[in-house]
Chain A
Amino acid sequence: MRNIQKFGLALFIIGLLIFSYIPFIGDYQLNVQLVEKLVKEEHREVMTGILEPMYDKIYTSNFSFIRDFKELFNAYNQDLKDQQAWDKVIWDNYAFSVTKAAAINPVQEHPYKYFGVSIILGVIGGLMYIMPLYRNEPEGIKNNGIYFSSMKARGVLGIFTGTYLILFYVILYWLPEYMTNLVIMVDPLSEALSGNEASQWFLYGLVYTLAILVMGIRMFKKYKGNAYQTIRTGSVMFFQLAFAFLLPEILVLFNMPWHDFKNIWPLDYSFFYEYRIEGMVSSGALGMFMLIWGILLIVIGVPLLTYFYGKRWYCSWVCGCGGLAETLGDPYRQLSDKSLKAWKVERYLIHGVLVFAVVMTALTIVNYFMKFDLLGQATNQLHSIYGFAIGSAFAGVIGTGFYPFMGNRVWCRFGCPLAAYLGIVQRFKSRFRITTNGGQCISCGNCSTYCEMGIDVRWYAQRGQNIVRSSCVGCGVCSAVCPRGVLKLENAGEEGRINEMPIIIGNKSISVKS
């Protein structure tokens, strides 16, 4: 490692430490005016009353502040629940906004400085580590030492990284009130983009986008000389930055609903929720366009593009989850399970999630058109179960937190309902396949090892069979790491695409059907 890389790594770690420490600094003080400002009108009277014991008390840590807040708030709700006065229970979660508003700390005074020494320092450190990688080395794939690496082969560093990521997601989804200082830190940036204060989602989107950009540059280095990898990585970087991060914020600036034009139902599972539909319908021509565009993607975009190019057009070129997996997750791609058993589990799980998403959405739509006569508010229960179990726990905590344990595509492989939909089209009606080059395979196993989706590519390659699998996201790495030029991702006629009884070329004595 060059000195500049060591220095970069040190800066990255310092940035990460500061980022992890920021949530714990400063004091918290609540007053009645703050509460009046933050809560909905219907809760104003009650909330100002409930929280009275906290007023003007100075808390020196977010733990004690949040503990008191939750005690008072939960005690009130619990009473009502005991009395079965469900309509009086406050279902809104005010913990995050109240904690954020009550904070008194230097981050508010100098948000850019804190942003600089945490996130920006991490980015700079990361780039200093990445930029010199493979410099002056000939073009070619560099997988040297991966299985000796503590980080990349489930060693201590990998376990630590996975644990950190899991913790981060747990706090982000279920305990965001503990990360308010980090959100305060990016308030000015959010205000500059959308005119609004930042939420934890803005912070997350920002970190997510930066991770894809920085680790995308690493991809350019690692796969130097492979045009497919380079262009594909450029594509996911673009779609994340422009479509997932900047454009939605700009929409908000113009009083439009936050909308990611490249996100597609059922990955975007809330697309048909009442509030989303109403948000779009009430936002004029552009809102109507969002609605129509979203539906067109589902019914025409997905089948048509997948017919021509396979699901890769989305999964490894456009999608945000795919984008993170292909950049931040690339060092972990070899950790996916290739066993036949894992494939069986995969098929039950991913199609199970698809069925769940479809049924839930169908009920939601029917209920909506029946003016809630069918199920009343029961669909909301369904939404929160899905949101908790699939949207947050599966996609986030497991999806990303498990990178260092089970590879970078755990969500995409086992959980994503859109991937399941794309996969069904890819398997049964598509021009995409990975062609096996006659008899050239030497069964070395590089392709299977580096398949992030856990496809045993070699199984097909060594018998001269094309690879047509619903899960293949077309990342192209099997082809890139093949030492004998055996694999090629391509779109071609449907005839001969699925060759169940392949014949290995080169043997004129007999035709061996594998």
Chain B
Amino acid sequence: MNNRKIVIIGNGISGITCARNIRKKDNEAEILVISGETEHFFSRTALMYIYMGHMKYEHTKPYEDWFWEKNRIKLLKAWIEFVDFPKKQLICQDGKAISYDILILATGSRPNKIGWPGQDLKGVQGLYSFQDLELMEENTKGIKKAVIVGGGLIGIEMAEMLRSRNVPVTFLVRERNFWDNVLPEEEAKMINKHILEHEIDLQLDTQLDEIIGDDEGRVTAVVTNKGKKINCEFVGLTVGVVPNIGFLIGSGLETSKGILIDHFFRTNMPNVYAIGDCAEFRELVAEDRKNIEQVWYTGRMHGEILAHNLTSQNQVPYMPGPWFNSAKFLDIEYQTYGQVPPKQDSYTDSFFWNDAKGKVSIRLNYNKDSNVFMGVNALGWRLRHDFFDRALTEKWTIDQVMGNLDKASFNPEFYKPYYQAVLKDYNSLKGNNIQFKKVSLFRKLIGSRA
């Protein structure tokens, strides 16, 4: 195991987590992380905050620059042109060759483009990389109007970014409600309303037909499938991301949409692994999981497990715990634990509650027959991860979850105790009389979690 050279392509959350965790267990290995995007690891999720002026690039770096040298993780800023698997060599864009003993591909994603006329005009772009952000900065300088296409997480982020600079935004969403291929209708409608409150012109059930440009190749307008022409100087294309594996095609590495891997992150090439956004599991890891997982948290877990496997005799497959995710739609935070599909299936029941202003909601799903709790969605209400991880793992009943909902809240102190209203509604719906455990005045005063 000594002195092996581990090369990681990609310095995102997967690659960096893997590098750090290898170093923790293996003091000898040579570790090299290559990225053409930036010299240092930064948090991709924070790109929007740089544009909005909340932070500068340097604030998005989770580790200070000395960290890498101290931990003997070598960094190289370069784009890889080609991988010669039989020779175990990487060829950089400048022609330089780099050899490896173990190769970890963590190349992430790139914005999806689905072949619209005019999608390559100037002023038309997606948002994924640091370069995309720089391009967006340039493309949106002094513009009067922007159109965003695609009703997902990056779409709403882009709209928020542009609104922070007072650019009028039209937001084209193919679905009937915002992100309703993930969110159930009630939640999606709350977000619709919130988007409109931010003076974003939300056009639901609307698709992009064509992007029109001028003689200089700059975007001037879009045309929707309803025949409406919208003049604009910027178009954000945010219809998802796809694995960033272009440079690997034809190298002998087996790929489909992403790099094909087993549950141990092994590709078809010996000593070559893939993790994070760019990887595609040949077989599902669990019924409720996707083949390609493009989420921060899963990327991190991939990195953790592969690092373990590379530094241990005891090989473990990828076994994620209960699903969790979070997002923020303008001012409304979203958290989810377990399974909450957008459409109810026949064996699930759902209890939904929202506040009068339509800014806070919670949905708890449970099995109709067994009453076992299956998942929760919350908007505008922070929930405790460890509470729901336990409830899901231990298969609590919905009544059990409801009776402890006061302990599940993670909102800041002095926030309204929504759980009381929720339990009241739940009790009256079910004809139950579940009560929270009484908390003494002293315990309340010292702010005890009980």
Query: Is B321 within 8 A of A508, CB to CB?
Result: yes
Whether the pair B198, A439 counts as a contact (CB closer than 8 A) is no
- Asked whether, in the complex, the Cβ of B52 is within 8 Å of the Cβ of A144, the reply is yes
Query: With A485-B326, A509-B319 given, is the CB distance from A437 to B384 under 8 Å?
Result: yes
Interface size class of B (residues with CB under 8 A): 35 or more
- Chain A residue numbers with a CB within 8 Å of B317 are 509
Query: In the complex where A446-B49, A508-B321 touch, is A440 in contact with B331 (Cβ < 8 A)?
Result: no
Could you pull out 25 A-B pairs where Cβ atoms are within 8 angstroms? A138-B198, A138-B331, A144-B52, A145-B53, A226-B412, A228-B415, A309-B446, A439-B300, A442-B43, A442-B45, A442-B326, A446-B54, A448-B59, A458-B62, A480-B412, A484-B328, A485-B382, A504-B304, A505-B385, A506-B301, A507-B319, A509-B304, A509-B316, A510-B316, A512-B304
Whole-angstrom distance from the CB of B101 to the nearest CB of chain A?
Answer: 23
Bound Cα distance from A333 to B165, whole angstroms? 22
A431 / chain B contacts, CB cutoff of 8 Å: 446-448
Task: Evaluate contact between B324 and A143: CB separation under 8 angstroms.
Answer: no
Q: Indicate if the CB atoms of B164 and A145 lie closer than 8 Å.
A: yes
- Give 4 nearest A-B pairs by CB, closest first: A438-B385, A140-B331, A485-B382, A227-B414
Q: Which of A471-490 contact B (CB under 8 A)?
A: 476, 479-481, 483-485, 488-490
Q: Of B60, B305, B448, which one neighbours A509 at CB under 8 angstroms?
A: B305
Residues of A within 8 A of B322 (CB): 506
* A490-B449 CB under 8 A given contacts A440-B326, A443-B45, A510-B316: yes
Q: What 16 additional pairs, Cβ within 8 angstroms, besides A439-B324, A507-B305, A512-B21?
A: A144-B52, A231-B414, A438-B385, A440-B326, A442-B296, A443-B296, A445-B61, A485-B410, A488-B382, A488-B410, A491-B448, A492-B447, A493-B449, A506-B321, A509-B308, A509-B316
Contact yes or no, A445 B55, CB < 8 A: yes
**Is the Cβ of A488 less than 8 Å from the Cβ of B412?**
yes
Kindly identify which residue among A228, A309, A437 contacts B410, using a CB–CB cutoff of 8 Å.
Answer: A437
Contact residues, B82-138 vs A (CB, 8 A): none
Q: Tell me whether A506 and B412 are in contact (CB under 8 A).
A: no
User: Residues of A contacting B300 with CB < 8 Å?
Assistant: 439, 504
CA distance A509 to B300 in the complex (A): 13
Task: Tell whether A139 is near chain B: CB-to-CB under 8 Å.
Answer: yes
Q: Does A146 contact B (CB under 8 A)?
A: yes
The answer to whether B320 touches A492 (Cβ under 8 A) is no
> Which of B53, B319, B415 contacts A227, CB < 8 Å?
B415
When chains A and B are docked, how far (Å) is the Cα of A449 from the Cα of B449? 28
Contact of A445 among B62, B165, B382, B413 (CB under 8 A): B62
Nearest Cβ in chain B — how far from A143, in angstroms?
A: 4
Q: How far is the CA of A147 from the CA of B51 in the complex (A)?
A: 10
Chain B minimum-CB-distance residue to A462: B62
Q: Shortest CB–CB separation between residue B443 and chain A, in angstroms?
A: 10
CB pair B324 A438 closer than 8 Å: yes
Per-residue CB contact flags for chain B residues 158-179 toward chain A (1 = under 8 Å, else 0) read 0000001100000000000000
Query: In the assembled complex, which residues on chain B have CB atoms less than 8 Å from the CB atom of A476?
Result: 412-413
Cβ distance B320 to chain A, nearest Cβ, rounded Å: 6
Give Cα A270–Cα B54 distance, bound, in whole angstroms: 41
Residue of A nearest to B61 (CB): A445
Residue of chain A at shortest CB distance from B16: A443
Cα–Cα, bound, A435→B319 (Å): 26
A435 to B412, CA, bound (A): 11
Distance A173 CA – B379 CA, assembled complex (angstroms): 52
Of A437, A446, A493, A505, which one neighbours B46 at CB under 8 angstroms?
A446
Interface residues on A, range: 35 or more
**B201 an interface residue at 8 Å Cβ cutoff?**
no
Evaluate contact between B385 and A437: CB separation under 8 angstroms.
yes
Is B383 an interface residue, CB under 8 A from the partner? yes
Query: B210 an interface residue at 8 Å Cβ cutoff?
Result: no
Write the nearest CB–CB distance from A38 to chain B, whole angstroms.
52
Asked if B369 is at the interface of the complex by the 8 Å CB criterion, the answer is no
- Please measure, in the bound complex, the distance between the C-alpha atom of A462 and the C-alpha atom of B42, giving whole angstroms: 13
* Interface residues in B340-399 (C-beta closer than 8 Å to A): 359, 382-386, 389
A449-B54, A483-B328 are known contacts. Are A443 and B62 too (CB-CB below 8 A)? yes
A226-B412, A445-B60, A483-B328 as given contacts; A440 in contact with B335, CB under 8 Å: yes
Judge whether A479 and B412 touch: CB under 8 Å.
Answer: yes
Query: Beyond A438-B386, A439-B297, A444-B46, is A147–B331 a contact (Cβ under 8 Å)?
Result: no
CA distance A480 to B382 in the complex (A): 11
Given the complex, which residues of B lie within 8 Å of A17, measured CB to CB? none
A91: B residues at CB distance < 8 A: none
How far does the alpha carbon of A509 sit from the alpha carbon of B383 in the complex, in Å? 24
A347 to chain B, nearest CB (A): 17
Residues of A within 8 A of B287 (CB): none
Instruction: Answer yes or no: B214 CB below 8 A from chain A CBs.
Output: no
Is B194 interfacial (CB-CB < 8 Å)?
yes
Contact B412 A445 (CB under 8 A): no
Does B13 make an interface contact (CB < 8 A)? Answer: yes
Task: Pick from B60, B297, B320, B322 the residue with the most CB of A within 10 Å.
Answer: B297
Among A139, A340, A444, A508, contact of B320 (Cβ-Cβ < 8 Å)? A508
- A148 interfacial contact with B, CB 8 Å: yes
CA distance A326 to B414 in the complex (A): 19
How far is A507 from B308 in the complex, measured between Cα atoms in Å? 12
A279-333: which have CB < 8 Å to B?
Answer: 308-309
CA A448 to CA B385, docked complex, whole Å: 21
A443 touches B412 (CB 8 A): no
Contact (Cβ within 8 A) B389 A444 = no
